[in-house]
Each structure stands twice: as C-alpha cells, then as structure tokens.
Amino acid sequence: MGAFFIGIDGGGTRTRAVVAAADLVPLGRGASGPANAATGPLPRVVETVHEAAADALAAAGAAYRDPNRVAIGLAGIDSIHDRRPLLGALESVFGAGRVLLTSDARIALAGASREALDAPAVVLIAGTGAIAFGQGRNGATARAGGYGPVIGDEGSGYAIARRGLSAVVREIDGRGPKTTIKERLFATEDVRSITDLLEHVYHSESGAADVAAYYPVVLAAAKDGDAEARRILEEAALELALDVVTVVRKLGLEAESFPVATIGSVLSAGSPLLDPLRAAIAAVAPGATVGPPAFPPEIGAIRLALAEEK
C-alpha cells in the first residue's frame, strides 16, 4: 500500500478529518466537536483532533493504520505564543515528526483552487468566527479579522447571532423595532422565554459556539423578509467583504484574477448575505471570483503535507 495522509480542519464548532492518498481521493471521513487552539484546553483540543482522525481511519478500513503525515489546521492557533506544547501533545498521539501543525486559514487557502499552492488566492472563512487570509504573486501573505468574539470576528455566525439576540431583547424592552427573530427564537426547542435565553447565553459551556448556534434563526427571519434580520445580514456581509478587500489591498491584487474561496456556515446563507458580499468585493477587485473552494480545508491540509514530502 502506498503512502497516505490525514488532513484535519479544527474549527470553533466542528472538527473534520479525512484520510487520502496522494490523489486526494477521500478514503474515509471523520468528525468531532470544536477544536479552537486559543479557547479550548490543550487536552480537550488534542482529544477532539484524535477523535476525528480515529473516525476517519476507521471509515477508511483496517488497512489504514499509520499515516505518513497528519496535517492539522486549527482555529486560534495564531493566538498561541508557544505552539510547542500543543505540537508535542499531538505528536504523542500521531508520532514524532509526523505532525504538520498550522492554522485553519492556511489549510483553507491551500484548498482554495486547483492551481499551484503559491498561486494568488484569498480564502474567507465565516463560521463561529471570521477571517480572511490570502496570498499574492510574490509569495507574500496577509490576513484580516480572526481576532475572536471579544474584540473581533465581525460578520461571523457569532456576531450575527449576537446581534439577532440583541434585537430580540431590544424589542422586548421597547427599545427596538418588532422582529420575527423573536417568534422564531421562542419557538425553538431550548428557548421558550427570556429566562431560557439568558440561561443559555450566560451559563453555556462552549461560549461563542453556543451563541453562534442561533445564527440559523436570524438567517431564516432574513429569508422571510424580516427587515431587522436582513439589515443584520447585510451589515455582516459588508464586514466580511471588508476583510477580503483589506487582504486584497495588502497584497496588491486589485487588478488580478484570482479566487475568493468561501468557507463556513455563514457563507452558505444565499443571496441575503452573498449578494452584498460579492458586490462589495467586485467594486475593488473585479477580477475576483467568489465561490466555494476547489477542495475542502481538510484536503487542503493534505496538499500542504504532500508539498513537504517533495
């Protein structure tokens, strides 16, 4: 049997793993919970990564036991001053010298297009958090956003959900307009009253991920034409576009043709968010093509591993 690899994408809500050989055809897939390197305790992050990898290996079959390389991209990794303890813990699971550890944005960029890994491209990730990361023709890279829910992540699922929940309490108080977000929220299984809402928001175990879980409620209201929800999504789209445009300007890509790969639950919202997003990007970089990536981030991780094997 030839060489095979595991690619892992660890995000703020979900971790995905894939087993594949050099042809990048998935042999098995696995999934587990959140693996944010900045907010999750190190043992829990390692456990979550291991769980997703083990699921993928089991799905691939008994013949696949010892991968040549395990490439892991984690949300929040750029916020860690010293990666060595995390890398050491991961190598204790997968084997010394086998782990390639980088950011979720880097592996997403590696999967953005079918072009060479050094080709110009930008990736926009918007799930629980939000970040834009890109690469220019001279190999330079740039980022915008991705600073977490307290001081950043504008346009993220967390930010949209938070603003939607704020709109609900503003309506309840009489400080804001009526919105169907409230009716949709109180019709969910776990929130029947403002007391339930406060309990879930302020006594959650997963923090931003638990707030971001209410993003679909805001999206559904927007798709039904609720004015407040649509305004929240349009403003989120402009924040996400600003991330992309900032990266484009840093890299001097305004006149270039390149992909902007969109990844994450927020970017599957459809026209209420994608239409203003595309328009704002096109105003600065008309040659940019906004759409899904050629490969999912976990396959992008394997592309990075293959490049290091050469």
pLDDT digits (tens, 9 = 90+) for 152-191: 889 999 999 999 999 999 998 999 899 999 989 888 877 8
Least confident segment among 126-130, 163-167, 230-234, 299-303: 126-130
Burial of 208 (0-12, 13-18, 19+ CB in 10 A): buried
- Structure-block tokens of residue 25: 């055809």
What share of the chain in percent tops pLDDT 70? 97
Domains 4-111+296-309 and 118-292 share a fold: yes
pLDDT of residue 78: 84
Question: pLDDT-based confidence at 80, cuts 50/70/90?
Answer: confident
- Structure-block tokens of residue 128: 């629980």
Least confident segment among 68-72, 85-89, 139-143, 191-195: 191-195
pLDDT digits (tens, 9 = 90+) for 229-276: 999 999 999 999 999 999 999 999 999 999 999 998 899 888 889 999
Please say if the pLDDT value at position 75 is more than 90. no
- Structure-block tokens of residue 16: 């995905």
Please say if the pLDDT value at position 217 is more than 90. yes
pLDDT of residue 69: 92
Report domain extents, the chain. Answer: 4-111+296-309, 118-292
Please say if the pLDDT value at position 63 is more than 70. no
pTM (2 decimals)? Answer: 0.86
In whole angstroms, what is the distance from residue 5 CA to residue 57 CA?
10
Q: Which CB contacts under 8 angstroms, 24+ apart, belong to 147-152?
A: 148/38, 148/39, 148/76, 148/79, 148/208, 149/207, 149/208, 149/211
**Mean predicted confidence (pLDDT) in 112-117:** 92
| Strand runs labelled E in the chain | 4-10, 15-21, 26-32, 69-74, 99-103, 121-126, 130-135, 141-145, 258-263, 288-291
Closest CA to 228 of 184, 274, 279: 184
Please say if the pLDDT value at position 149 is more than 70. yes
Residues 288/259, Cβ–Cβ less than 8 Å = yes
**Mean predicted confidence (pLDDT) in 69-85:** 90
Select 118-292's CATH number: 1.10.275.10, 3.30.70.360, 3.30.420.40, 3.50.50.60: 3.30.420.40
Please say if the pLDDT value at position 62 is more than 70. no
Question: pLDDT-based confidence at 139, cuts 50/70/90?
Answer: confident
Please say if the pLDDT value at position 207 is more than 80. no
Which CATH architecture fits 4-111+296-309? 2-Layer Sandwich (3.30)
Rg (CA), the chain: 20
